[in-house]
């Protein structure tokens, strides 16, 4: 969200924190120890938390990525490495459980707003745990896929591990390799991702069962344009986990009205479609917006009035 977005084992990391408490008068002579990295000494204690389903998916993806990695990395280290940017990107203040539904709130480019200027019709370009943005890693997925913690973990975790190994194999030390792995996330520039990484390595990551796979968004089946699609209903009022971003004052860009999102293959080309039903927006007309895959939403959106959909799971909408 704050974007434009040798392996150290836990025992070794803990050793960096081990400062002697015996007075010098009674201590036996010892060889000088290596200085403690001040950054590591400042890492807060206590485990981080992550949605239970999202954590299971991330760990599964990390195990696969570690097994096939071109450098030596354990599954636990791969998990910590891959999840570290999430807290920096989508959690404000305390390190609460990140919400898979998180929508970016710091994008204000004119092309993201409804051309008619209607309130709550806004295309948030950064979505999900890793804030998949259409200007970068999220150019070829929908908001629904970015919110789906299983789908996005299988996509992003191997990517981060691969970048780490490439840097390590190219001669970078581990800290520089981690920075290279996180380069797509601007929130990592100030060291917050390294803080989260070491906290995860030292204290672990706890599973939060109150945050589900989609962070409160609801998988549905939708009829749109004469075809049937898997779709996702996104209502920020139902968001689970850290929800500061869902409050009107949580950022500079608008909080969108509830919307549906799906992927279509119109004319053989993939598109992301978001639809606001009149009953959800209160604007008296259905509104849809499309973004071609590979394009930045800031400059590529097409808005249309009257194109609704039918949520065939619940029987609501243009049925």
Average pLDDT over residues 199-221: 97
In a domain, 101, yes or no: no
- Predicted local confidence at residue 43, as pLDDT: 58
In a domain, 265, yes or no: yes
> What span, in angstroms and rounded, lies between the C-alpha atoms of 218 and 220?
6
Q: How far is CA 199 from CA 40, 81, 99, 194, 206, in A?
A: 9, 11, 19, 8, 12
For the chain, what is the domain count? 1
Average pLDDT over residues 89-104: 90
Task: Give residue 85's pLDDT band: very low, low, confident or very high (50, 70, 90).
Answer: very high
Task: Give residue 95's pLDDT band: very low, low, confident or very high (50, 70, 90).
Answer: confident
Average pLDDT over residues 10-18: 32
- Predicted local confidence at residue 44, as pLDDT: 62
Domain membership of residue 272 as a residue range:
214-317
Residues 6+ apart with CB under 8 A from 17: 36, 40, 41, 202
In a domain, 7, yes or no: no
| Interval 107-119: pLDDT, tens | 999 999 999 999 9
In a domain, 174, yes or no: no
The pTM assigned to this predicted structure is 0.86
- Predicted local confidence at residue 21, as pLDDT: 26
> What span, in angstroms and rounded, lies between the C-alpha atoms of 238 and 216?
5
In a domain, 71, yes or no: no
- Are 20 and 113 within 8 A, CB to CB? no
Which one, of 116, 104, 105, 108, lies nearest residue 289 by Cα? 116
> What span, in angstroms and rounded, lies between the C-alpha atoms of 187 and 87?
9
> What span, in angstroms and rounded, lies between the C-alpha atoms of 192 and 78?
17
Task: Give residue 288's pLDDT band: very low, low, confident or very high (50, 70, 90).
Answer: very high
| Interval 118-133: pLDDT, tens | 999 999 999 999 999 9
- Are 241 and 100 within 8 A, CB to CB? yes
Question: Is the predicted pLDDT of residue 211 greater than 90, yes or no?
Answer: yes
Which one, of 99, 316, 132, lies nearest residue 214 by Cα? 99
In a domain, 226, yes or no: yes
In a domain, 53, yes or no: no
In a domain, 159, yes or no: no
- Are 66 and 211 within 8 A, CB to CB? no
- Predicted local confidence at residue 46, as pLDDT: 67
Question: Is the predicted pLDDT of residue 8 greater than 90, yes or no?
Answer: no
């Amino acid at each position: 969200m704050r974007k434009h977005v040798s392996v150290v084992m836990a025992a070794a990391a803990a050793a960096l924190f081990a400062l002697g408490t015996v007075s010098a008068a009674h201590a036996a002579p010892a060889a000088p120890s290596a200085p403690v990295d001040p950054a590591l000494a400042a890492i807060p204690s206590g485990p981080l938390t992550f949605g239970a389903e999202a954590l299971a998916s991330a760990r599964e993806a990390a195990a696969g990525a570690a097994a096939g990695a071109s450098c030596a990395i354990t599954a636990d280290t791969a998990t910590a490495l891959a999840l570290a940017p999430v807290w920096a990107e989508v959690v404000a203040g305390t390190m609460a459980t990140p919400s898979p539904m998180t929508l970016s709130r710091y994008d204000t480019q004119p092309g993201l707003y409804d051309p008619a200027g209607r309130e709550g019709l806004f295309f948030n370009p950064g979505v999900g745990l890793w804030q998949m943005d259409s200007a970068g890693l999220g150019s070829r997925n929908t908001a629904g896929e970015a919110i789906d913690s299983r789908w996005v973990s299988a996509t992003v975790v191997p990517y981060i591990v691969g970048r780490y190994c490439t840097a390590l194999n190219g001669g970078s030390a581990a800290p520089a390799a981690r920075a290279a792995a996180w380069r797509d996330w601007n929130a990592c520039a100030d060291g917050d991702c390294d803080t989260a990484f070491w906290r995860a390595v030292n204290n672990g990551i706890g599973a939060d069962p109150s945050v589900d796979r989609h962070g409160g968004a609801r998988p549905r089946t939708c009829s749109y344009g004469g075809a049937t699609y898997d779709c996702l209903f996104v209502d920020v009022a139902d968001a689970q986990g850290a929800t500061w971003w869902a409050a009107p004052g949580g950022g500079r860009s608008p909080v969108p009205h509830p919307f549906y999102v799906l992927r279509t293959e119109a004319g053989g080309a993939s598109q992301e479609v978001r639809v606001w039903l009149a009953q959800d927006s209160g604007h008296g007309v259905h509104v849809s917006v499309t973004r071609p895959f590979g394009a930045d939403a800031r400059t590529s959106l097409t808005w249309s009035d009257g194109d609704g959909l039918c949520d065939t799971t619940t029987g609501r909408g243009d049925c």
